[in-house]
Amino acid sequence: MLEILIGIIGLFVSLFLEHFLFALFGFSLFILIFLNMWGRVSSRFFFPFLLFLGISLDITMHQPIGLHILVLGVALLIYILFETFLPDDNSVSKYISMLFVFLLFYFLNAVLLSLLQDGIIPIFTSGILIKIFANSLISVLVSMLVGKVFSTVRDSKNYQSIRLR
Amino acid sequence: MFKNLLRIKLLQPFILIILGILLILLSRSAIGSAIRVPFSYLFEPVSLTAQSLSGSASNWGTALFDASAYIEENEKLREELLDIKSKEAFIVDHEEYSSLKANEALMVTGGEYVLSKVLSFSQKGDIYINTGIKEGVKVGDSVILGNVFVGIVSSVDSNGALVRLPTNRSSSYEVVILPSIANEQEGIKLDGYIKSTAVVTGVLEGIKIENIGINSEVSDGDTVVLRDERIGQLLIIGRVVGLSNNPASTSKSGFVSPIFDYSNLLTVFVKIK
């Protein structure tokens, strides 16, 4: 019951912050929440939450419904592939793979949105590319901070339990 | 069973991809609008508030070192400027306007308009406005300011709508080109005014105008007027600039300089009837 309540409040807060940050800087909180919470929250609650958030974002941003979920699926697939070949600890390689996933998310989102909505392939100007790279870099920095916070509060091997030492 | 499938890490992306594709296909059917309405009813107030706040934050960020009066004054001046520009862009004088009405079957007089506030502008060539189904806005409605064409509603929800600007790469309209000094040519009917017909399309650089008759006397600064069946109104888009004059080509092309910068728009009118 508590999880459902947190989920509903989280949905509204995430939606508000996503719109606020996206309109201001073109920054997406959706992928940031996903990559940082994935594996740390029970998938039983996490995936329905993501599904609702994704659909709500598509609708309120006037995008084709399912776009966020589709892009997230592709981004997750690439992230898992990176995780398979690179060490899965709080090392540099993890954050490099995260950077690639963030970049992929922003590119794929723009390409698929333009293709599905207008039927054209978008053109990326240098300004857009810089914005995407800057947003991805900021996302990685936030992820590093989140990782640091989690490692100090919770056990790195088991996120379900709080570190006692 | 689904819960167990979700626990398998490698299956999660594939589940998301399949779900995403299914939702996209579903949104293109009649069920799509059935999903959209309750979601937009629930979440659009949140998104509208966030966008409005981000607009204010952006204004404050830009004028970080100035007083709040500066922002208000700036917005007021922008409103006034747009108003003046849209009035100045009135096709010609009253006589010519009457002749347009008499000669042009496409001209629709009157109509019902909804005043809308522009919430955001995207570089892709869209603006997001704060009126939607509740106010009677529909997909395909034309959005104007004065006599100037702003765009067409491409997507609508209960509290907001997305307007596709002429700069959007998927925008394409039929236009006519009128002389820039048409008001000085007294007694000429519409047929006499039209220098050429043409087609405007949105491109990365702005609005491109093509298929201008090679023998027409179109020159830079001429007025580009929208005459498209989908709009049903004669509305100004802008002025011809950068006209190419290649003798080897079968038609002339160039660019259209919009009457005003679309990113500066604050309020627009949606023609709902």
Structure ipTM: 0.84
Q: Name the band, by pLDDT with cuts 50, 70 and 90, for residue A69.
A: very high
Contact A119 B15 (CB under 8 A): no
Contact B46 A55 (CB under 8 A): no
Non-local (6+) Cβ contacts of B82 within 8 A are B145, B260, B264, B265, B266
Residue of A31, A45, A62 to mutate when probing chain B, most B C-beta within 10 A = A62
Contact B16 A55 (CB under 8 A): no
List, for residues B139-167, the tens digit of each pLDDT value. 888 898 877 888 999 888 878 888 999 98
pLDDT at A133: 92
Task: Identify the residue whose tokens are 């009128």.
Answer: B178
List, for residues A101-158, the tens digit of each pLDDT value. 999 999 999 999 888 888 888 888 888 899 899 999 999 999 888 888 877 776 555 5
List, for residues B110-124, the tens digit of each pLDDT value. 678 888 888 888 878
Q: What would the two tokens of residue B78 be?
A: 């922008």
Task: Record the pTM.
Answer: 0.64
Q: Name the band, by pLDDT with cuts 50, 70 and 90, for residue B65.
A: low
Instruction: Decide: helix, strand or coil at residue B164.
Output: strand
Please give the backbone phi and psi of residue B141, each rounded to the nearest 5 degrees, phi first: -65, 145
Q: Which of B152, B169, B184 is nearest to B270 (CA)?
A: B152
Interatomic CA distance for residues A89 and A151, integer angstroms: 11
- Of chain B, the percentage scoring pLDDT greater than 70 comes to 81
Round to the nearest angstrom and report the end-to-end CA distance of chain A.
31
Please give the backbone phi and psi of residue B206, each rounded to the nearest 5 degrees, phi first: 150, -120
> Distance from CA of residue A78 to its chain's centroid?
13
Contact B54 A19 (CB under 8 A): yes
* Rounded mean pLDDT, A54-61: 89
| pLDDT of residue B44 exceeding 50 | yes
In terms of pLDDT, which residue wins out, A159 or B249?
A: B249
Q: Which of A81, A78, A47 is nearest to B6 (CA)?
A: A47
pLDDT at B86: 65
pLDDT at B159: 80
Q: What would the two tokens of residue B195 be?
A: 């220098």
| pLDDT of residue B273 exceeding 80 | no
Asked if B181 is an interface residue toward chain A (Cβ–Cβ < 8 A), one would say: no
Q: Name the band, by pLDDT with cuts 50, 70 and 90, for residue B169.
A: confident
Q: Which of B271, B261, B224, B269 is nearest to B81 (CA)?
A: B261
Q: What would the two tokens of residue A133 be?
A: 């790279």
In chain A, what's the furthest Cα-to-Cα distance?
56
